[in-house]
């Protein structure tokens, strides 16, 4: 299988930690130069330094993906330093959740949509013209297991990820003939900061309903993203690749059981 990313430049949002960081390193091991985006400039540069140690070029750039002007400035700097963006991974995300009837639900919805949907829109808009002009590009959006079965007490998060899946499928139809492939990876429960706060009971409930019997590790997600970013997936377009161990829906589980 050809997952060689040599001579490709990738921009990964939210890549300072967790799944994004592991994806950046996996890309580097497959030959890609990588732009590390994070809202924290120190974290972005620290990760970029680790990626450079793997023998490729990397630059850390801080930007809030929900701010179109910051995204545009990031892409301009990245292009100057590493060249045109061939691969975009819209990984930046937030885990804020809560009940619909909560007084603060408006803020939670706004945050999830700003980061998951509009953040991905901003980044895609900033790179897509160049991809179309060159007749080549890969966009990989990070959705969620929530796009298959909603989980109680997280309507804002669910809406953010469902909207990103809709964007994925629509752009795939529009851009496929332009040489651009748009796909998504839908992680299940992953050992990251988002799941650190889960109680032992909730964690066990997840494991009991997972045929593989464990949470995903960031490298499990990184491997799937690398596949969709590589030539091995050139005939895959508009697809959501679930990386969840075959997770069985937990209809009665609610996020307030953390």
Across the 258 residues of the chain, what is the mean pLDDT of every consecutive 10-residue run? 94 97 98 98 98 98 98 98 98 81 76 96 98 98 86 81 97 98 95 77 84 93 98 98 84 46
Q: Per the domain annotation, does 189 fall within a domain? A: yes
Catalytic position from the list 105, 118, 136, 157: 157
Q: Tell the burial category of 120 from Cβ atoms under 10 Å away from its Cβ (0-12, 13-18, 19+).
A: buried
Q: Per the domain annotation, does 98 fall within a domain? A: yes
* pTM for the model: 0.93
Q: Per the domain annotation, does 63 fall within a domain? A: yes
Q: Per the domain annotation, does 2 fall within a domain? A: no
Predicted pLDDT of residue 21: 98
The Cα 58–Cα 12 span in angstroms is 11
Predicted pLDDT of residue 252: 45
Instruction: Indicate which CATH number applies to the domain containing 177.
Output: 3.40.50.720
Task: Tell me which residue range forms the domain holding 60.
Answer: 9-245
Residue that has been written with the tokens 């603060």 in this structure: 104
Whether 157 is catalytic: yes
Predicted pLDDT of residue 150: 64
Number of structural domains, the chain?
Answer: 1
Element housing 231 (H / E): none
Q: Per the domain annotation, does 51 fall within a domain? A: yes
Say how far residue 95 (Cα) sits from the centre of its chain.
13
Determine contact, residues 5/230, Cβ cutoff 8 Å: yes
Q: Per the domain annotation, does 182 fall within a domain? A: yes
Q: Per the domain annotation, does 80 fall within a domain? A: yes
Q: Per the domain annotation, does 109 fall within a domain? A: yes
Question: In 3-state terms, what secondary structure has residue 54?
Answer: coil
């Amino acid at each position: 299988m050809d997952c060689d990313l040599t001579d490709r430049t990738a921009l990964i949002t939210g890549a300072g930690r967790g799944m994004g960081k592991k994806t950046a390193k996996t890309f580097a091991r497959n030959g890609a130069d990588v732009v590390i985006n994070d809202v924290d400039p120190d974290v972005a540069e620290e990760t970029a330094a680790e990626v450079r140690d793997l023998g490729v070029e990397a630059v850390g750039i801080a930007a809030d993906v929900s701010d179109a002007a910051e995204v545009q400035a990031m892409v301009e700097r990245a292009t100057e330093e590493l060249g045109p963006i061939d691969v975009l991974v819209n990984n930046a995300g937030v885990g804020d959740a809560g009940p619909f009837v909560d007084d603060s639900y408006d803020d939670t919805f706004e945050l999830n949509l700003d980061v998951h949907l509009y953040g991905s829109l901003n980044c895609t808009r900033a790179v897509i013209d160049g991809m179309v002009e060159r007749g080549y590009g890969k966009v990989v959006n990070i959705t969620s297991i929530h796009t298959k079965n909603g989980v109680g007490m997280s309507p804002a998060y669910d809406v953010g990820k469902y909207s990103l899946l809709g964007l994925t499928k629509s752009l795939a139809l529009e851009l496929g003939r332009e040489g651009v492939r748009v796909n998504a990876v839908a992680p299940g429960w992953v050992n990251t900061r988002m799941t650190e706060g889960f109680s032992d009971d909730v964690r066990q409930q997840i494991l009991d309903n997972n045929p593989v019997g464990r949470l995903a590790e960031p490298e499990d997600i990184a491997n799937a993203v690398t596949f969709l970013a590589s030539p091995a997936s050139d005939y895959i377009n508009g697809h959501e690749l679930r990386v969840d161990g075959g997770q069985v829906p937990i209809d009665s589980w609610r996020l307030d059981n953390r």
